[in-house]
Amino acid sequence: MREADDTNARLEHPRERRQKAAMTEKYCKIDRAAGTFTLQLATWHNTYPLDTLERWRDFYVEQRSMFSKCRDTYDETIALLENALAERDAQ
């Protein structure tokens, strides 16, 4: 039975592999035409109005100060948002 379990564990549809890989990518992308930005972290993503970018950065800075055990995670998210702010302000 062990061999069958191993075989089943290795069988994964290519689409599922692509979806998992895509969800591990972390980014913050600006869509100027729509006036939005999309923040994608390890397991979720959402799109927000572009004029709320600073508020989201401030939110994560506050979260980092309240939950210091997760500091590395918040640092990464803050960096994504700050890079997006710099990109937005550069044009």
The two structure tokens encoding residue 30: 């600006």
Domain assignment present for 78:
yes
| Angstrom distance (rounded) from CA 32 to CA 37 | 8
Domain assignment present for 3:
no
**pLDDT digits 0-9 by tens, 17-49:** 665 555 568 999 999 999 999 999 988 999 999
Domain assignment present for 79:
yes
Q: Does the model's pTM come out above 0.85?
A: no
**pLDDT digits 0-9 by tens, 64-83:** 999 989 898 899 999 999 99
Q: How many CB atoms lie within 10 A of CB 4?
A: 8
* Residue range of the domain that includes 32: 26-90
Maximum alpha-carbon separation in the chain = 61
Split into its structural domains, the chain has a count of 1
Domain assignment present for 50:
yes
Residue 30's identity, in one-letter code, is I
